[in-house]
Amino acid sequence: MTDLAAADQLLEDNSPASGRLSLVALTKQFGNGPDTVTAVDAVDLEIEPGEFITLLGPSGCGKTTTLRMIAGFEDPTGGEVVLDGRNMIDTPPNKRPMAMVFQSYALFPHLKVRDNVAYGLKLRKLPAAQLNEEVELGLKSMNIEQYANRAPNQLSGGQQQRVALARAMVMKPKVLLFDEPLSNLDAKLREQMRLEIRRLQRHLGITSVYVTHDQSEAMSMSDRIVVMNKGRVEQAAAPEVIYRQPATVFVADFIGRANFLDVTLLSHDDDGHATVEVLGQEVRVPAHPDAAGAADVVLLVRPESIRLVAVREGDEVAAGGHAGTVTTSVFFGDTVEYEVDTEHGTITAVVADPNVSDIHEEGAKVEVRFNEGRAWLLPREG
């Protein structure tokens, strides 16, 4: 566990108002001539001091390149990286008040844990007494004092990542950069570490940019998630907004699981709702503002918003329901997942905390219902 008091002491003179990071039309192209690939395409982003931002997207979406341009390891083709009003583009990476935590930990294998943590401070030529004190606080705040005299290869992956965090933190950076720092850890440790990092970051208020392709990591840690696709920002918003009110089909599909129902837009109301027709039934659902003028719309229904009701032979399907046949039924313990064939195509449904006797068998006839208030209408083309 992290020691927040020690971390506080380490960073007591850090001004909470600094660390405002802006990306302005940040662009990176690789190659030249006809082979040019635009990895990052005019990304604009305002990051508030102390904010925890996650760049999320499939591999090749430009998230790592964006992070490396912020750090200075990659020269942008165009655009600006502005920190507290200062453009950092011409500042070399070693002069930027930022510290990076790497996926491979990147601990110096020839230095002991203590010397790894002290590395940056030694370069700053801190007086010995102050240096030792700050290194101790850094080790203490990540709870790794007992490994101080070990070589990095004598530590487990999780311990190594703690050393890497301590090494970055003692630099008292204005911005912490994380490049998929937890992806080499096993699932349980990963969950524990992401809570610790989040707790520490929120407590210290250091602006953080975190790159990951793991959406549960992004959901659980971020103030805001920036979903990227093909070098562009698809949406930048709080996790709840990303999940419940995605701006594009890509975001809806990438975050969590989604059923997309074909609907016809009947009317768009000013109160953020729209009336749509789903297979002959009129329903009122929350809608994205862009859905009003869109040529084609689609209705997002999350699998957990769907209820399945058993239908006995000969029964009629009630109003608001749709007939379906269970094709797959998988019991996960905490949930049951179904695939149901309906006139809308195959619909995925997840039922939490299932009562074993109520589980629908494969081949069973069911009535599919969904919570209209939880659905979300959005334009088909971003």
Partner 1 sequence: MACKKFVHLLSLLPIVSPPFAVATAVITLFGRGGIISNQLLGQQWNVYGLGGLTLVLALSFFPVAYLNLLGMLRSLDPSLDEASQSLGANKWQVFRTVTLPMLIPGFAASFLLLFVEAIADLANPLVLGGDFTVLASRAYIAIIGEYNLGAGAAYSMVLLVPALLVFIVQRYWSNRQSAVSVTGKPAGAAKMNTSNAARIPVLALVAIVMALIITIYGTVILGGFVRILGVNNAFTLDNYRYLFQGIGSDAIITTTLLALIATPIAGILGMLIAWLVVVKLRRGAGVMDFLGMLGLAVPGTVLGIGYAIAYNTPFDAFGRRFIPALAGGGAIFAGAMAIVMVYIARSIPAGQRSGVAALQQIDPAIDEASTSLGASGLTTFRKVTIPLIRMALLSGLTYAFARSMTTISAIIFITTPRTRIMTSQILSEVEAGRFGNAFAYCTILIIIVLTVIGLLNLAMKGKGSSAAPTIPPAAA
User: What residues pair up with 335 in beta bridges, in sequence order?
Assistant: 352
Straight-line distance from the first to the last Cα atom of the chain, in angstroms, rounded to the nearest whole number: 43
CB of 126 to partner 1, least distance (A): 11
User: Measured between alpha carbons, how far is residue 148 from residues 110, 163, 164, 273 in Å?
Assistant: 14, 9, 13, 58
CB of 334 to partner 1, least distance (A): 25
State the angle between helix axes of 157-169 and 113-123 in degrees (0 to 180), rounded to the nearest 10: 20
Cα–Cα dist 329/155, whole Å = 43
Nearer to partner 1, 75 or 353 (CB): 75
Alpha-carbon Rg for the chain, nearest whole angstrom, is 25
**Interaction of residue 93 with partner 1, rule CB under 8 A:** yes
Cα–Cα dist 3/165, whole Å = 13
Among 82, 89, 126, 189, binds partner 1 (CB under 8 A): 189
Nearer to partner 1, 180 or 234 (CB): 180
Q: What mask, x for binding partner 1 by CB under 8 A, covers residues 52 to 81?
A: -------------------x-x--------
Judge whether 28 and 77 are in contact, CB under 8 Å: yes
Phi/psi for 34 (5° steps) reads: -70, -15
Cα–Cα dist 30/38, whole Å = 6
Cα–Cα dist 31/369, whole Å = 51
**How many CB atoms sit inside 10 A of residue 314's CB?**
5
Among 56, 67, 185, 204, binds partner 1 (CB under 8 A): 185
DSSP E strands in 188-263: the ranges are 207-212, 224-229, 232-237, 259-262
Nearer to partner 1, 153 or 355 (CB): 153
Contacts with partner 1 by CB under 8 A: the residue count is 40
Stretch in the footprint of partner 1 (CB under 8 A) among 2-10, 137-145, 149-157, 305-313: 149-157
The 3-state DSSP class for residue 86 equals: strand
Who's near 221: CB < 8 A, 6+ residues apart? 52, 54, 194, 197, 198, 201, 210
CB of 214 to partner 1, least distance (A): 14
Cα–Cα dist 55/226, whole Å = 5
**Interaction of residue 119 with partner 1, rule CB under 8 A:** yes
Nearer to partner 1, 67 or 340 (CB): 67
Stretch in the footprint of partner 1 (CB under 8 A) among 80-88, 95-103, 196-204, 278-286: 95-103
**Interaction of residue 260 with partner 1, rule CB under 8 A:** no
Stretch in the footprint of partner 1 (CB under 8 A) among 29-37, 166-174, 242-250, 340-348: 166-174
Judge whether 354 and 288 are in contact, CB under 8 Å: no
Nearer to partner 1, 62 or 152 (CB): 152
Among 95, 289, 346, 371, binds partner 1 (CB under 8 A): 95
Who's near 119: CB < 8 A, 6+ residues apart? 108, 111, 167
Among 26, 45, 53, 168, binds partner 1 (CB under 8 A): 168
Cα–Cα dist 70/93, whole Å = 9
- For the chain, how many helices (H) and strands (E)? 9, 21
CB of 185 to partner 1, least distance (A): 6
**Interaction of residue 108 with partner 1, rule CB under 8 A:** yes
**Interaction of residue 107 with partner 1, rule CB under 8 A:** yes
Stretch in the footprint of partner 1 (CB under 8 A) among 158-166, 256-264, 293-301, 336-344: 158-166
Nearer to partner 1, 59 or 94 (CB): 94
Among 6, 166, 171, 225, binds partner 1 (CB under 8 A): 171
Among 160, 201, 222, 248, binds partner 1 (CB under 8 A): 160
Q: Which residues are near partner 1 by CB under 8 A?
A: 71, 73, 92-95, 98-100, 102-112, 119-120, 123-124, 151-153, 156-158, 160, 164, 167-168, 171, 177, 184-186, 189
